[in-house]
Chain A
Amino acid sequence: MIWVDTIVQGVLLGGLYALFAAGLSLVFGVMRLVNLAHGDLIVLGAFLILVIVSALGLNPFLAALVALPVMFCLGWGLQFVVLNRTLGDDILPPLLVTFGLSIVIQNALLEGFSADSRRISVGGLEAASVSLGPIAVGVMPLLTFLSAVAVIIALNALFYRTALGRAFRATSDDPVTAGLMGVDPKRLFATATGIAMIVVTIAALYLGTRSNFDPTIGPARLIYAFEAVIIGGLGSFWGTLAGGVIIGVAQTMGAAINPEWQILSGHVAFLLVLLFRPRGLFPRAND
Chain B
Amino acid sequence: MQPVLDISAVNKRFGALTVADAVTFSLAPGEALGIIGPNGAGKSTLFNLITGNLQVDGGRIVFDGTDVTNAPPMQRCLMGIGRTFQIPQPFVKLTVFENLLVAGTFGSRKLEAEVAARCGDILIQTGLIGRANVPAGQLSLLERKRLELARALATNPKVLLLDEIAGGLTEGECAALVGTIRDIHASGISIIWIEHVLHALNSVVERLLVLDFGKVIGMGRPNDIMASKAVREIYLGLDV
- A183-B102 contact in complex given A163-B111, A163-B112, A177-B85, C-beta closer than 8 Å: yes
Central interface residue in A166, A167, A284, by most chain B CB within 10 Å: A166
The answer to whether B91 touches A182, judged by C-beta atoms less than 8 angstroms apart, is: no
Interface residues of chain B, those whose CB is within 8 Å of chain A, are 51, 53, 72-74, 77-78, 82-83, 85, 89, 91-94, 98-99, 101-103, 105-109, 111-112, 137, 151, 155
Decide if A264 is an interface residue (CB 8 Å cutoff): no
Central interface residue in B74, B89, B94, by most chain A CB within 10 Å: B74
The answer to whether A183 touches B92, judged by C-beta atoms less than 8 angstroms apart, is: no
Top 5 closest pairs, chain A to chain B, by CB: A182-B107, A182-B106, A181-B103, A170-B91, A173-B91
Interface residues of chain A, those whose CB is within 8 Å of chain B, are 162-163, 166-167, 169-170, 172-174, 176-184, 284-286
- Option from B53, B83, B93, B103 in Cβ contact (under 8 Å) with A182: B103
22 pairs, CB–CB < 8 Å, chain A vs chain B: A163-B105, A163-B111, A166-B98, A166-B105, A169-B91, A169-B98, A173-B91, A174-B89, A176-B73, A178-B106, A180-B77, A180-B83, A181-B77, A181-B103, A181-B106, A181-B107, A182-B78, A182-B106, A182-B109, A183-B102, A183-B106, A286-B93
A183→B151 CA distance, assembly (Å): 13
A163→B119 CA distance, assembly (Å): 14
Q: Chain A residues near B92 (CB, 8 Å)?
A: 173, 286
A210→B174 CA distance, assembly (Å): 65
Chain B: which residue is nearest A162 at the CB level?
B112
Q: Chain A residues near B78 (CB, 8 Å)?
A: 182
The distance from the CB of B176 to the nearest CB of chain A, in whole angstroms, is: 24
A162→B108 CA distance, assembly (Å): 16
- A178-B102 contact in complex given A173-B94, A286-B93, C-beta closer than 8 Å: yes
The answer to whether B102 touches A167, judged by C-beta atoms less than 8 angstroms apart, is: yes
The answer to whether A180 touches B53, judged by C-beta atoms less than 8 angstroms apart, is: yes
Q: Chain A residues near B85 (CB, 8 Å)?
A: 177
Chain B: which residue is nearest A188 at the CB level?
B106
A183→B74 CA distance, assembly (Å): 6
The answer to whether B107 touches A177, judged by C-beta atoms less than 8 angstroms apart, is: no
Q: Chain B residues near A183 (CB, 8 Å)?
A: 74, 102, 106
Chain B: which residue is nearest A287 at the CB level?
B93
Q: Chain B residues near A173 (CB, 8 Å)?
A: 91-94
Chain A: which residue is nearest B84 at the CB level?
A180
A180→B90 CA distance, assembly (Å): 12
A285→B74 CA distance, assembly (Å): 29
